[in-house]
Structure 1
Amino acid sequence: MGTSVIISAVADERDAEQILKLQYLCYQSEAELYDDYTIEPLTQSLADLTAELGRGHALVARLGDEVVGSVRATVDENGTAHIGKLIVHPRMRRHGLGGRLLTAVETHLAASLDAKRFRLFTGHRNETNLRLYRSRGYATVSKEQSTPKLTLITLEKEAEDYATSA
């Protein structure tokens, strides 16, 4: 491709439209897994996404001017970083970009927001996500039946090692 993928420390409302389009593309496979095309990432409006970017932290991966990946997070009053919507363009998958985005958001949250632990969730059928998260030290902390077809698996890991390694 000739151009390297660069992860930017901050995404903002200028990136919102590209992130929303990428999110819609990326979550098609998730919707297909559960035969549910009404999942929130597919129904989120641009206004809602822009507001979400303003409330939390988002990183983007760019290939030139194109957003090819993104991840969002918030940190609550207890120091738990809630990581969500880790997305990678289908043509960029299986090259380590998802892992790079996850590491980048963890590093950012631990360094700038003093996150004490990282928490995320995925659907029970998404073996790719589960494999990635477990390989990065996340362990299952709960399972919740969201719909008759979907069980959400919440995974977590402590951030204490990040302060010294980041």
Structure 2
Amino acid sequence: MAVIEWAEPEDAGEILTVQRAAYVSEAQLYGDPFIPPLVESAGQVRKAVETGAVLLAREGTRVVGAVRGRMSGTTCLVGRLVVAPDAQGRGTGGALLAALHDEMASALAFDLFTGHLSEGNLRLYRRHGYRETHRERMSDHLTLVHMRRQV
């Protein structure tokens, strides 16, 4: 099982590598190789680590997952929950999400979004208490499903 810990700025490159690997399947699912997680730079990831809450999952010395949280008022905005493809299906994503909920204990709600075709993501979020609030059509191929977890 992976160890969950706070990310450090020097982890940005490894986080980005995992993020890109994890989002390739999403890009294929939606037919868009330029989704934001795939074009984000290491500098942008580093800034996220420096300015928000970024947790990572480590197996030995290898980063196998990460998640971001940022407070907006009393709501934690959850983003970029990623798990390396070869480490998926072992509970790492759920462990990262649960750890973020614990770390951001002052939040009264947690908000996130995912694509409408991302059934695995939707199942994971529902298991962790998220409920759909609305949908936002972005293009012919993509509708974002916005979800909230009330504390």
Unaligned runs of 5+ residues in structure 1 are 160-166
Say yes or no: does 1:97 pair with 2:92. yes
Aligned-pair CA distance for 1:157? 1.2
- Paired with 1:67 and 1:135, the residues of 2 have a C-alpha distance of 24
User: After alignment, is 47-56 or 18-27 more displaced?
Assistant: 47-56
- Paired with 1:30 and 1:57, the residues of 2 have a C-alpha distance of 24
Q: Which residue pairs with 2:83 in the alignment?
A: 88
Residues 48, 54 of structure 2: 8 Å contact kept: no
Q: Which residue pairs with 1:158 in the alignment?
A: 150
Counterparts of residues 1-150 of structure 1 (less than 5 Å): 4-8=1-5, 10-77=6-73, 79-110=74-105, 114-150=106-142
Specify the SS of the correspondent of 2:46.
Answer: helix
Q: Which residue pairs with 1:164 in the alignment?
A: none
Q: Deviations over 1:107-148 (max 9, x none)?
A: 1001xxx10101111000000000111111110001001122
- Paired with 2:43 and 2:86, the residues of 1 have a C-alpha distance of 27
Q: 1:155 is aligned with what amino acid?
A: M
- Paired with 1:151 and 1:48, the residues of 2 have a C-alpha distance of 25
- Paired with 1:150 and 1:53, the residues of 2 have a C-alpha distance of 28
TM-score normalised by the chain length of structure 1: 0.88
- Paired with 2:98 and 2:136, the residues of 1 have a C-alpha distance of 26
Specify the SS of the correspondent of 1:95.
Answer: coil
Sequence identity of aligned pairs in percent?
A: 40
Q: 2:116 is aligned with what amino acid?
A: H
Aligned-pair CA distance for 1:96? 1.0
- In the TM superposition, structure 1's runs of 4+ consecutive aligned residues that sit over 2 Å from their partners are none
Residues 57, 66 of structure 2: 8 Å contact kept: yes
- Paired with 1:64 and 1:140, the residues of 2 have a C-alpha distance of 36
Aligned-residue RMSD, C-alpha: 0.8
Unaligned runs of 5+ residues in structure 2 are none
- Paired with 2:82 and 2:146, the residues of 1 have a C-alpha distance of 17
- Paired with 1:26 and 1:90, the residues of 2 have a C-alpha distance of 6
- Paired with 1:143 and 1:55, the residues of 2 have a C-alpha distance of 28
TM-score normalised by the chain length of structure 2: 0.97
